[in-house]
Amino acid sequence: MSNFIPDHRNPLFTVYERYPQLKQRVFMMIQGYDDVNDVRHLKNDPLFKDVLSGEMASQSTISRFENCFDKQSIFSICYDFIDRYVENLKGRDEVIIDVDGTDDPTHGNQQLSMFNGFYGQFMYNELFFHDGDTGQIIVPVLRPGNSHSNKWYPGILRRIVQKIRAKYPTIKITIRSDSGFSGPAFYKVAHQYNLFFATGISSNEILKKKVERVEKAVRKLYLEQGLKHQHFIKYTYQAKSWSLPQTCYAKIKSTGIGMNIRHFVSNIEEKNAREIYFDFYVKKGDASENRIKEVKNMCFSNRLSNQGFLANLFRLIASSLTYEFFRLIKEEIAIISDETAKKWQVSSIRTYLLKVGATIKVTKRRVYYMLSKSFVYQDLFQKLITLK
């Protein structure tokens, strides 16, 4: 990805190329150092000198590096994200694309930081496209704070689908998203490219009337008795802005203390409402929402503290690259079949495998890393570093 980063510096005064700068920024975040100022404390760290094959760039150099991006370079990196994902689809007959967004509160006069009424704060609006099976980030997107959930979504989805279908014309693509991503533009894309989908839909007066009779029955038979129960119904609905009617479902649930009614739209015909909801739709919680939590809270995409919008978009990309490194480690752990480590999130991998005590000895020819004999996961560590 460093090949897409612009470099207009005078080569006579250039010490650090773009690749080691990008590598330093990402590897610092992998080790938990999210702030560029941490360079001051790591300047003489032999581990980073070994990984980077040289001295670390200073805080000011990395700050200038983060602010060097233009629209062309950002678009190129985003397309490269998609291309790398498409390359990994070889041999697969079906893909699930999870779409979800999250907030990042802003502070100060940051470019395109705007107030979002839903979240009730000044913020940036992050959008992620994930693979529902592997957790791979297809592409990360940063949007102005006042963006609606589906802003830019249909257009980006169209580009992703076009790239997938260009290489794998017969692959089955299924989209999974919340109600914020339901809209006429999405259904148009789904119809045009024969996409399958299961997406939430916000309730309105028409939908309330469609479930009114069943809701009264569930309320009387179960809620008034303090019992838990859920019932599904199927109906056809077409909003005024939709070009075609869609098959919709409603889950009317008595929790024992209240009613919970949810509507969703799906064109998956081989499954009934219960199967679509429980066997497919709700799995988005782990496949997408938990992965976003890892990117946001464990790979620091919630630290978009630059003044410029493109600089902050690069920080989101760097956090996504950090997440991808950890995802690859997860894949290797799965190959080893360590049942305990399979459940680890990013923070656990960092704590148990990367942030461990060691004695480092530097000679003229080599760097020696001597781990403690009491290192709890030394067997797993040894298997990982020797895995081919």
* Strand-strand pairing, 172-177 and 196-201: parallel
What is the spatial distance between Cα 197 and Cα 187, in angstroms, rounded to a whole number?
9
Dump pLDDT digits (tens) for 269-319.
Answer: 989 999 999 999 999 999 999 999 999 999 999 999 999 999 999 999 999
What is the spatial distance between Cα 217 and Cα 227, in angstroms, rounded to a whole number?
13
Q: Token digits for 344? A: 């680890």
Judge: domain 70-199+268-335, CATH 3.40.50.850.
Answer: no
Average confidence (pLDDT) per 10 residues, the chain, 388 residues: 92 92 96 93 92 93 95 96 96 96 94 95 97 96 95 97 96 96 96 96 94 95 94 95 95 94 95 95 94 96 94 97 97 92 96 93 92 92 89
Closest CA to 61 of 116, 121, 21: 21
What is the spatial distance between Cα 84 and Cα 88, in angstroms, rounded to a whole number?
7
Quote helix, strand, coil % in the chain, to nearest 5: 45, 20, 35
What does pTM read for this prediction? 0.94
The predicted pLDDT at position 74 comes to 95
Within the chain, all domains assigned CATH 3.30.420.10 are found at: 70-199+268-335
The predicted pLDDT at position 338 comes to 87
Q: Token digits for 301? A: 């995409």
